[in-house]
Chains A and B, each alone.
Chain A
Amino acid sequence: EVQLVESGGGLEQPGGSLRLSCAASGFTFSSYAMSWVRQAPGKGLDWVSSVSGSGSNTYYADSVKGRFTISRDNSKNTLYLQMNSLRAEDTAVYYCARLVAAGSDCWGQGTLVTVSS
């Protein structure tokens, strides 16, 4: 069974940092691009970042470029999102998703990030 499990969310002050993880199982992790998508309270889905299967190519939404870094460790079947210089508007549930040619075909359960003083 394909499974994605996020962790690492929590309460952080503005300007602080958090590192999210997404543990993958049930498929050949290195064969798939992966992405992070977030959802602010009461709002819609918002793409954050994507990474190729090898990890060599990364892509970011303008809203997080220069502050967030996506990476992966294919030996550990784990996806990461390093979030620095956090802002109140980064408050959201963060989902990891597996990418195929047709879109995001598998989602994790999400981890909540709250940025507040």
Chain B
Amino acid sequence: QPVLTQSSSASASLGSSVKLTCTLSSGHSSSIIAWHQQQPGKAPRYLMNLEGSGSYIKGSGVPDRFSGSRSGADRYLTISNLQSEDEADYYCETWDSNTRVFGGGTKLTVL
């Protein structure tokens, strides 16, 4: 079963860019993942899926400021031109053998 590792917190200034990381465990470095955003007090929102090739497809209505990339077992979510509404928890998700797995989440603070 895969394990997804995320940093617990990150911070960046308004208008800047930030790159969040989700690391896949050994043996799962080519897996597809999904990124989700959860604003305070709200339900999660699907942002995108990110394939092992590094290509990504965003969900409906997700701003162009959000993009994905990869390097080896690492999957990245980059947010450009940070806005106050981007302050949220960000989770990655993957699956294997009909078991779904979430990372522990990264709390993003916009300074």
Contact = CB atoms under 8 A, between A and B. Distances in A.
Nearest to A93: B43
B72 interface: no
A107 interface: yes
Contacts of A44: 89, 91, 102-105
Contact of A107 (B32, B43, B98, B100): B43
Given A47-B101, A50-B98, A102 B43 contact: no
A108 B34 CA distance: 17
Interface residues of B, number: 25
Q: For the complex, would chain A's binding face be called helix, strand, loop or mixed by DSSP majority?
A: strand
Contacts of A11: none
Interface string A37-57: 100000011110010000001
Interface residues of A, number: 22
B100 A47 contact: yes
A105 B46 contact: yes
Q: For the complex, would chain B's binding face be called helix, strand, loop or mixed by DSSP majority?
A: strand
B105 A103 contact: no
Contacts of B98: 50, 57, 59
A102 B44 CA distance: 16
Contacts of A97: 44
A110 B43 contact: yes
A109 B43 contact: yes
Given A45-B102, A50-B100, A103 B33 contact: yes
B86 interface: no
A68 interface: no
Contact of A108 (B33, B43, B94, B101): B43
Interface string B37-58: 0100001111001000000010
A103 B34 contact: yes
A104 B59 CA distance: 11
- Greatest chain A CB density within 10 A among B32, B33, B36 is at B36
10 contacts: A37-B100, A37-B102, A47-B102, A50-B100, A97-B44, A103-B34, A103-B93, A103-B94, A104-B34, A106-B46
